[in-house]
């Protein structure tokens, strides 16, 4: 298929899409419902997004489900979210595995219940060899936490003599972060109308294209995803270089 025949959102498909799934609470409030029903509705949007990214051939999808700062929410909401994560894990993993999805959890999982952590480890183990969409779910994740953990690991290596501080470079740091082995996100989407990163992938967002939309996360459907992908296809990514001119102008 030539570029002309390809739907515009597929001309230049991002290899790695990262999503800040925001707006569940407001979605519920607008319907006069409690916040937890917004979170529950958000799971459906996760399912649709994962399926569609897999079908389109996106290689990596990273979803921000719960931030390190979200621990400060009311206890009821946190407990409800943890229950929802466990339910979703138990309900979805078999189908994800069938669809060849490789699942990984990133974040400080130490505050999660043993049961949830075990479920996450089992899901990672089950899907480890899958070769389809690589799906990272960020839980208890903070970009700063991630960088501090990497710094600690590198400092330990320096102390034990296996790393020369003079040799430390960006690759060392990348390789010590939670997303080691994944390319940086090309496209970062935030739903829910806020235009901020809220401590998500701070290191990795260096050259991500940032797409902010007002759609509340539970309403984020395949059309909304395709809008983001179409927008991405129209971006010129320069990475600090100058714009690329068409061949005839350049010669």
Torsion of CA 216, 217, 223, 227, to 10 degrees: 80
Determine contact, residues 67/200, Cβ cutoff 8 Å: yes
Per-position b or e across 141-174, b if 16+ CB within 10 A of its CB: bbbebbbeebeebbeebeeeeebeeeeeeeeebb
Q: Is 191 helix (H, G, I), strand (E, B) or coil?
A: coil
Distance of CA 128 to the CA centre of its chain: 18
Asked if 200 is part of the footprint of Mg ion (rule: CB under 5 A), the reply reads no
Asked if 230 is part of the footprint of ligand IPE (rule: CB under 6 A), the reply reads no
Residues 210-229 that bind ligand IPE (CB under 6 A): 217
Active site residue 22: yes
- Which among 88-96, 107-115, 189-197, 230-238 is the span making contact with ligand IPE, rule CB under 6 A? 189-197
CB of 216 to Mg ion, least distance (A): 10
Asked if 64 is part of the footprint of ligand IPE (rule: CB under 6 A), the reply reads yes
Q: Cβ closer to ligand IPE: 41 or 229?
A: 41
- Laid out side by side, the sheet with 134-141 consists of 102-106, 134-141, 60-67, 16-20, 187-190, 209-212
Q: Cβ closer to ligand IPE: 13 or 17?
A: 17
Determine contact, residues 221/1, Cβ cutoff 8 Å: no
Site string for Mg ion, 8-27 (x = CB under 5 A): --------------x-----
DSSP state of 138: E
Active site residue 219: no
CB of 192 to Mg ion, least distance (A): 6
Active-site residue, from 3, 5, 22, 214: 22
Task: Provide the token pair at 161.
Answer: 């003599």
Applying CB under 6 A, among 58, 61, 66, 146 the residue interacting with ligand IPE is: 66
Residues facing residue 209 across a β-bridge: 187
Asked if 23 is part of the footprint of ligand IPE (rule: CB under 6 A), the reply reads yes
172 contact choice in Mg ion, ligand IPE, none (CB below 5 to 8 Å, kind-dependent): none
Active site members: 22, 70
């Amino acid at each position: 298929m030539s570029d002309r025949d390809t739907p515009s959102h597929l001309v230049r498909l991002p290899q790695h899409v990262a999503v800040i799934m925001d707006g569940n609470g407001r979605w519920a409030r607008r319907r006069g419902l409690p916040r937890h029903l917004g979170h529950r509705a958000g799971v459906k949007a996760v399912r649709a997004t994962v399926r569609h990214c897999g079908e389109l051939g996106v290689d990596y999808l990273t979803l921000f489900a719960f931030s390190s700062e979200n621990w400060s929410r009311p206890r009821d909401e946190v407990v409800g979210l943890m229950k929802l994560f466990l339910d979703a894990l138990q309900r979805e993993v078999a189908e994800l595995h069938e669809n060849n999805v490789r699942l990984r959890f990133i974040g400080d999982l130490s505050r999660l219940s043993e049961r949830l952590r075990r479920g996450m480890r089992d899901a990672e183990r089950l899907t480890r060899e899958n070769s389809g969409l690589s799906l990272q779910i960020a839980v208890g994740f903070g970009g700063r936490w991630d960088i501090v953990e990497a710094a600690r690991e590198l400092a330990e290596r320096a102390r034990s003599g296996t790393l020369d501080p003079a040799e430390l470079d960006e690759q060392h740091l990348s390789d010590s972060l939670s997303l080691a082995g994944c390319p940086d996100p090309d496209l970062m989407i935030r739903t829910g109308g806020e235009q901020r990163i809220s401590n998500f992938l701070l290191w990795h967002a260096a050259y991500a294209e940032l797409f902010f939309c007002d759609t509340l996360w539970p309403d984020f459907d395949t059309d909304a995803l395709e809008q983001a992908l179409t927008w991405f296809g129209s971006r010129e990514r320069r990475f600090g270089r100058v714009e690329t001119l068409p061949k005839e102008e350049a010669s």
